[in-house]
Amino acid sequence: MVKVTELFGSMVFNEQVMRERLPKEVFKALQCTIKTGSYLPSDVADVVASAMKDWAIEKGATHYTHWFQPMTGITAEKHDSFITPDDGGSVIMKFSGKELIKGEPDASSFPSGGLRSTFEARGYTAWDPTSYAFVKGTVLYIPTAFISYSGQVLDKKTPLLRSMDSVSKAAVRVLKLFGKNPTSVLPSVGPEQEYFLIPIELYKKRPDLIITGRTLFGAKPPKGQELDDHYFGKIKSKVLEYMEDLDAELWKLGIHAKTRHNEVAPAQHELAPIYSTVNIATDHNQLTMAVMRELAVKHGLVCLLHEKPFAGVNGSGKHNNWSLTTSDGENLLDPGKDLKNNLQFMLFLTAVIKAVDEHQDLLRLSVATAGNDHRLGANEAPPAIISMFLGDEITDLFETISSGKEYKNRVGAKLSTGVESVPVIYEDTTDRNRTSPFAFTGNKFEFRSLGSSLNIACPNIMINAAVADALNAYADKLEKAKDFKKAALDLIKKEYIAHKRIVFNGDNYADAWKAEAARRGLLNLKGTPEALSYYDTKENVELFEKLKIYTAEEVKARKDILLENYCKIINIEALTMCEIAVKQILPAAARFTTELADNIAKLTALGVDARAQREVLDISAALIGDAYEAEQRLSDAQLAIKNETDSQSAANFCHDTVFSAMQELRTYCDRLETLVAKDLWPFPSYGDLLLYV
Ligand code: ADP
Ligand code: MG
């Protein structure tokens, strides 16, 4: 077996490879570009490109691609081979600096939200040297940003890089006041990724899964997650083989896959990497999802990344663990040992509290998708109301100092296991709260509202922007202060009092919280269309313009793309439901009732009691009628989407009318599934899909 240390990063053109393969001067110039974003001269780029190509060919590459993240949220790639014709009909393998730095894919078919008309379809991809190139299969992947001919952003990476820059500059300003001078402060993220694995032969029999990624029909199985026997349970051998293979593939690509375990729902699992700078974490998470899908097929499985593949059991999320670290390696969210004297920690934490309170709408809309609508507020994921958990100790600290009293550091209480041989462990001073959308977990915040398939760029753009805004406001104030320490402490007190309504340490799933949150004036943006309607409010446009993350047109474009995407998903789901109901479920149910009718006729002729069959027949026949009518209503609603005149009203209509018609049709069909003979039902049941991997 190959050693993990040798395997790790073996397919990545990383710093070590660059050091080995590039002339010293070129290596230095490239490192400078990577670390400071400085311009890379074209002759240097040529040398880098040539070395990269030679290395990639040794790793089996024949092609290269500019890999980017358009507004579809998934990654895009177009492969170009290295071949160039040579004399005498032969070819040589070539790759220039120009080809490395800039690409010009035809951009007309990527969503732009009206930023680019099809007749000027030009878009550019620009190399992002801060994220390493890698070889996967026979292709050299070069991470890039994607922008239009006129310089408007068309992707998720460019604004993410801009937001990182904003929060870095703002944090450096504040740190200067503490006498510190780091060159940068970067947000780090560790995204925990949940997923389902189901057998591929069963998947192929479910058109709903194939077309929409989730089951649109399906009665509850006799056993779901009620026994709590799957979470952290023993991993079945078929799944473990997959996980081992997955880890190895990810390690080769330089991804620090760290934790793997079974999740709450049957057939549900999780993978967590070690955290890294957020643009790398974003690239790696996109890559992880792609590798998860590809590898599953090799194992006779399908990896489902949809937020809610199955009704009645938990869906999948992605916890976004976020922190800020200086270029000197200091985690600004680490309270250290002496909490009450850590003014710097308190100030940064207060900035996050302000950020979350003032920009609840941005955080909420950054996780709004049709798929995630099934999870938020369904007692399996945080509610749509954004609030934050600080834990008893930190809350106590802020409550005490804001009321002008002296705070005493708590010492973690001893937790005894009661078993002699097990050492006594100290209670973590910040306990976990699994129901909070935005929880402080000791030295980082865990944003828990993300859906499993989401590109993590958007939520992190919002966190970075919101925190940058708060830190800039604090720097503006404190830079003018005569007595910095006193001014900072006063600011912390005032700001905590002003924003403490966002702090909630209780059960976010409880109904009482909804009422309490409303009383506190917190937003409760229930569905995707409502959440997205806040994207381009005056305050938000001003914020993005001020921080140079988006222009007003770019914000509007993003909002439109997301609203349209929501409508398209609901439209596809509605059409798929109608087709499955009419062509598969109703015919199966009709056959079943015919069988029953034949049976009743025959039994009655023989004088045998057929009351039970008669009852089932009556109920089934009635359900067929109900389902048929519901299908008609859904079909009518789907056709009426086009009558809406703009993307917001179309999305609202999809949410309020089409989606409820879908739910209604599903109810009748699922009841039919509980009656119709299994051999007549047209596709595998939830039990088949979830319990037999
Ligand atoms: P959980 O109990 O929620 O599973 P873990 O401690 O296992 O939490 O961490 C989950 C994720 O948080 C991992 O990806 C881990 O690398 C990441 N993480 C840990 N520390 C930090 C940090 N300081 N900043 C960002 N992410 C972090
Ligand atoms: Mg977690």
Per-residue pLDDT tens digits for 164-194: 999 999 999 999 999 999 999 999 999 999 9
Ligand 1 centroid – CA 190 distance (Å) = 6
Question: What does the pLDDT read at residue 223?
Answer: 76
pLDDT above 70: residue 426: no
Ligand 2 centroid – CA 118 distance (Å) = 43
Question: What does the pLDDT read at residue 111?
Answer: 81
- Cβ–Cβ < 8 Å for 30, 100: no
- Cβ–Cβ < 8 Å for 638, 662: no
% of the chain at pLDDT higher than 90: 81
Ligand 1 atom showing the smallest separation from residue 273 Cα: 14
Question: What does the pLDDT read at residue 124?
Answer: 87
Ligand 2 centroid – CA 319 distance (Å) = 6
Q: Give the largest Cα separation in the chain, rounded.
A: 102
- Which ligand is closest to the CA of 448, given by its number? 2
Ligand 1 centroid – CA 499 distance (Å) = 26
Per-residue pLDDT, averaged over 258-262, amounts to 91
What's the rounded Cα separation, in Å, for the pair 449 and 375? 9
What's the rounded Cα separation, in Å, for the pair 666 and 9? 47
Burial class (CB in 10 A: 0-12, 13-18, 19+), 91: exposed
Question: What does the pLDDT read at residue 425?
Answer: 45
Establish how many alpha carbons lie within 13 A of residue 412's alpha carbon, considering only the half-sphere containing its beta carbon: 16
Question: What does the pLDDT read at residue 147?
Answer: 87
pLDDT above 70: residue 430: no
pLDDT above 60: residue 453: yes
- Which ligand is closest to the CA of 191, given by its number? 1
CB count, 10 Å around CB of 544?
A: 27
pLDDT above 80: residue 32: yes
Nearest residue to 213 via CA among 366, 369, 70, 68? 369
What's the rounded Cα separation, in Å, for the pair 286 and 457? 10
- Which ligand is closest to the CA of 450, given by its number? 2
Q: What residue type is 451 in one-letter code? A: G
Average pLDDT, the chain: 92
Per-residue pLDDT, averaged over 225-241, amounts to 83
Minimum mean pLDDT among 8-12, 84-88, 545-549: which range?
84-88
Minimum mean pLDDT among 44-48, 588-592, 616-620: which range?
44-48
Ligand 2 centroid – CA 446 distance (Å) = 7
pLDDT-derived band at 427, boundaries 50, 70, 90: very low
Question: What does the pLDDT read at residue 38?
Answer: 78
> Among 274, 318, 321, which is best to mutate for testing ligand 1, by the most ligand atoms less than 8 A from CB?
321
Question: Which residue is it, tokens 């078993």?
Answer: 419
What's the rounded Cα separation, in Å, for the pair 501 and 358? 11
pLDDT-derived band at 431, boundaries 50, 70, 90: low
Q: For residue range 303-360, list pLDDT tens digits in order.
A: 999 999 999 999 999 999 999 999 999 999 999 888 878 999 999 999 999 999 999 9
DSSP codes joined into one string, 464-505? HHHHHHHHHHHHHHHTT-SSHHHHHHHHHHHHHHHHGGGB--
Question: What does the pLDDT read at residue 273?
Answer: 97
Ligand 1 atom showing the smallest separation from residue 443 Cα: 23
- Cβ–Cβ < 8 Å for 71, 32: no
pLDDT above 60: residue 412: no
> Among 192, 255, 263, 441, which is best to mutate for testing ligand 1, by the most ligand atoms less than 8 A from CB?
192
Nearest residue to 505 via CA among 339, 351, 377, 392? 392
Per-residue pLDDT, averaged over 118-133, amounts to 81
pLDDT above 50: residue 422: no
Q: For residue range 198-232, list pLDDT tens digits in order.
A: 999 999 999 999 999 999 999 988 777 777 777 77
- Cβ–Cβ < 8 Å for 75, 156: no
**CA 450 from centre of chain:** 5
pLDDT above 80: residue 693: no
pLDDT above 70: residue 417: no
Q: Which residues, judged by CB distance below 6 Å to any ligand atom, belong to the binding site of ligand 1?
A: 188-190, 192, 259, 272-275, 319, 321-323, 331, 443-444
- Cβ–Cβ < 8 Å for 101, 33: no
Positive or negative torsion for Cα 552, 557, 560, 561: negative
Ligand 2 centroid – CA 261 distance (Å) = 12
Q: Is 11 helix (H, G, I), strand (E, B) or coil?
A: coil
Ligand 1 atom showing the smallest separation from residue 323 Cα: 24
Ligand 1 centroid – CA 345 distance (Å) = 19
Per-residue pLDDT, averaged over 150-173, amounts to 93
Ligand 1 centroid – CA 328 distance (Å) = 20
Query: What Rg value do the Cα atoms of the chain yield, rounded?
Result: 28
Question: What does the pLDDT read at residue 390?
Answer: 95
CB count, 10 Å around CB of 468?
A: 27
- Which ligand is closest to the CA of 322, given by its number? 1
pTM of the model: 0.94
Per-residue pLDDT, averaged over 73-99, amounts to 91
Nearest residue to 385 via CA among 444, 434, 449, 321? 449
pLDDT above 50: residue 611: yes
Question: What does the pLDDT read at residue 122?
Answer: 74
- Which ligand is closest to the CA of 445, given by its number? 1
Ligand 1 centroid – CA 497 distance (Å) = 29
Question: What does the pLDDT read at residue 1?
Answer: 66
Residue nearest to atom 24 of ligand 1 (CA): 323
What's the rounded Cα separation, in Å, for the pair 120 and 122? 6
Ligand 1 atom showing the smallest separation from residue 259 Cα: 7
Question: What does the pLDDT read at residue 64?
Answer: 96
* Both structure tokens of 290: 């792609």
Question: What does the pLDDT read at residue 10?
Answer: 96
Ligand 1 atom showing the smallest separation from residue 192 Cα: 14
Per-residue pLDDT, averaged over 528-534, amounts to 98
Nearest residue to 253 via CA among 133, 124, 400, 412? 133
Per-residue pLDDT, averaged over 660-681, amounts to 97
Q: For residue range 543-599, list pLDDT tens digits in order.
A: 999 999 999 999 999 999 999 999 999 999 999 999 999 999 999 999 999 999 999
> Among 189, 259, 271, 275, which is best to mutate for testing ligand 1, by the most ligand atoms less than 8 A from CB?
275
- Which ligand is closest to the CA of 231, given by its number? 1
What's the rounded Cα separation, in Å, for the pair 596 and 589? 10
Q: What residue type is 304 in one-letter code? A: L
The percent of the chain in helix, strand and coil, each rounded to the nearest 5, is 50, 15, 35
Q: For residue range 627-657, list pLDDT tens digits in order.
A: 999 999 999 999 999 999 999 999 999 999 9
Q: Is 423 helix (H, G, I), strand (E, B) or coil?
A: coil
Ligand 2 centroid – CA 358 distance (Å) = 25
Bridge partners, residue 103, by sequence:
125
Residue nearest to atom 13 of ligand 1 (CA): 190
pLDDT above 80: residue 277: yes
